Amino acid sequence: CTKSMTSAAPPLALVVLVTGASAGIGRITVERLARQGHRFVLAARSADKLASLEQELRDQGVESLCVPTDVSDPNALEHLVSAAVAKFGRIDVLINNAGIECFAPIDELPVENVVQTIETNLTGAILLTRLVVPVMRKQKFGRIINLGSIAGKHGPAYGAVYGATKAGLIAFTQALRGE
C-alpha cells in the first residue's frame, strides 16, 4: 500500500487495474472484486481471454475496459495507463499480477527466457507503477498491490531467475512503501 496517498477518501466504486487479468490469480481476483461493484481495467497478452472476461463482467453489470497489453513493452504500458485514465479519469488500485515462470537448470535456460521473465515479472511492474503513481498522487488516493511469491524469499532449485524476479519485486515493494 502507498499510505502517503490516503488523504482523500476512496470512491465507493474503485477503478482497479489488473495485469495478468485473463487467467489464474488475476482472473480470480477480478471475479471476486467484481462482486463488490468495482470497475476494472483488464490487461493481459491474450485478447481473446480478456474479451471473454469483459463479457462476463458486462453480463453482471460491471463496467470494465479491456486493454491487451504485454507488460514487458514500455510503450504498451503507457498506452494502458492512458486508456485507463481516458475511460475512467482515475486509477485507484493497481494490481501488478502479470508473471511468467521459467524453471530449468540455469545453464540450460535460453537467454530469451531469462530476459522475458525479468521484463515481465519485475521490469513491467516497476515501469507500470512508475506510470500510475503520478495519477494516484494527483487524485490523492491509491493502492498498489504487487504479487510476489515465496520463491522470492527462498529461491527454488531450477527456478533461479523466477525467484530472483520475485525477490526483486519484494524489495521494490518495500522500497516503494518507504516512499
Give the active site residues.
Answer: 162
Residue with cell 488516493: 141
Q: Please state, as a whole number, how many other Cβ atoms lie within 10 Å of the Cβ of residue 8.
A: 10
Provide the total of helices (H) and of strands (E) in the chain, helices listed first: 6, 5
For 148, half-sphere exposure in the C-beta direction (CA atoms, 13 angstrom radius) is 18
- What gap in Å lies between CA 85 and CA 131, rounded to an integer? 11
Measuring CA to CA, which residue among 179, 178, 70, 49 is closest to residue 124? 70
- What gap in Å lies between CA 102 and CA 162, rounded to an integer? 6
